[in-house]
Amino acid sequence: MRQPIVIALLSGSVFLAACEDSSKASVSRAIDSVTAVDQQNMAELMLAAGDPTEAVNFFALQLENDPDNLTSLRGLARSLVRAGRVSEALPVWRKTVAHPQAGHDDRVMLADTYIRANDWAQAEATLNEIPPTHESFDRYRLEAMIADSKQQWTRADHFYETAAGLTTRPSTVLNNWGFSKLTRGNPREAEALFNQALQHDPNMFTAKNNLALARAGQRNYSLPLVQMSQEERAKLLYTMAIAAIRQGDTTIGRTLLAEAIDTHPRHYEEAVRAMRALEGQG
């Protein structure tokens, strides 16, 4: 008479055990999910604000535990580029691109790294493997640079313009476009592009310096009306002085050098050396 009760109790125990197993599995999946989110957040943090060397060490350690993790591969490749270790970044980017879950943006970043390594042919070949339907700021930025390197000016202008329209922060690409115009001997159009770059990023000193060059290229030796510190003012005066001297406007160059020396908040060694050389003292 007790057998059915025993069977019932056993059945209940099995049911409870099954529930416990199910509950443990759910908790385990939840923990795994949280861990994955934490790892992703940490990866993004290391890339956005971490010291490049620390980021390299972080992602390298992650890959020791999980060698085929795509996020860690990308993170290591990007961190190596940030740390200036381009030759080490290339094989990591190649491994990233070979990953079955890699996307077109990974190949774009591989092309970017080839350019940083001065391997323009391989960069172009890498971009050519990406279908034309993949449209991104970085893709067109690199296409513009490659066209520039081949002096395909119309093509370069098209890609620079397209890239600038695909980002809310176009200052860098506008500066590159302006420098391209400057090297082609078109300082007026270059000046307009540098001004546009500074409208988006008033603190971009490279664009300020290039703007000074563009104005000097038109024999306009007055400083541009842009936001600048005292030290930046001295550096722009020096840039224009050197440009003036190279163009044969020696008297103007000497005046600008003297002003740069007087303006700089500290000793301006480069300007002093240039002045001594101009005066035949060194």
pLDDT at 137 over 60: yes
Q: pTM value?
A: 0.78
pLDDT band for position 27 (cuts 50, 70, 90): very low
CATH number of the domain bearing residue 149: 1.25.40.10
Is pLDDT larger for residue 100 or for residue 13?
100
Q: Give the pLDDT of residue 62.
A: 86
State the burial class of residue 153 (Cβ atoms within 10 Å of its Cβ: 0-12, 13-18, 19+): middle
Q: Which of 115, 131, 147 is the last residue of a domain?
A: 131
Report if residue 89 sits inside a domain.
yes
Q: Tens of pLDDT along 228-279?
A: 999 999 999 999 999 999 999 999 999 999 999 999 988 889 889 988 888 8
With b for 16 or more beta-carbon neighbours within 10 A and e for fewer, the 111-143 pattern comes to: bbbbbeeebeebbbebbeebeeeeeebbbbbbb
Q: Give the pLDDT of residue 55.
A: 85
% of the chain with per-residue pLDDT over 90: 67
Stretch among 59-73, 113-127, 168-182, 250-264 having the lowest mean pLDDT: 59-73
Please indicate, yes or no, whether residues 66 and 100 belong to a single structural domain of this protein.
yes
- Rounded to the nearest 5 degrees, what angle is found at the Cα of 19, between the Cα atoms of 18 and 21? 65
Query: What's the whole-number average pLDDT of the chain?
Result: 85
The residue range of the domain holding 69 is 48-131
Cα separations (Å) of 81 from 44, 90, 100, 113? 15, 9, 23, 7
pLDDT at 87 over 70: yes
Decide if 156 contacts 144 (C-beta within 8 A): yes
Q: Give the number of other Cβ atoms within 10 Å of residue 109's Cβ.
A: 21
Instruction: Indicate the length of the chain as a whole number.
Output: 282
Q: Which of 69, 100, 131 is the last residue of a domain?
A: 131
Please indicate, yes or no, whether residues 143 and 114 belong to a single structural domain of this protein.
no
Q: Which of 131, 162, 191 is the last residue of a domain?
A: 131
Q: Tens of pLDDT along 201-215?
A: 999 999 999 999 999
Q: Can you tell me the mean pLDDT for 96-108?
A: 95
Report if residue 211 sits inside a domain.
yes
Please indicate, yes or no, whether residues 56 and 106 belong to a single structural domain of this protein.
yes
DSSP string across 89-132: HHHHHHHHHHSTT--HHHHHHHHHHHHHTT-HHHHHHHHHTS-T
pLDDT at 50 over 70: no
Structure tokens belonging to residue 88: 């080490």
Q: Give the pLDDT of residue 85.
A: 93
Structure tokens belonging to residue 61: 């350690």
Report if residue 120 sits inside a domain.
yes
pLDDT at 94 over 70: yes
Cα separations (Å) of 36 from 30, 33, 57? 10, 5, 19
Contacts of 20 (CB under 8 A, 6+ apart): none
Is pLDDT larger for residue 54 or for residue 38?
54
How far is residue 205's CA from residue 194's CA, in Å, rounded to a whole number? 11
Nearest to 275 by CA among 243, 217, 255: 255
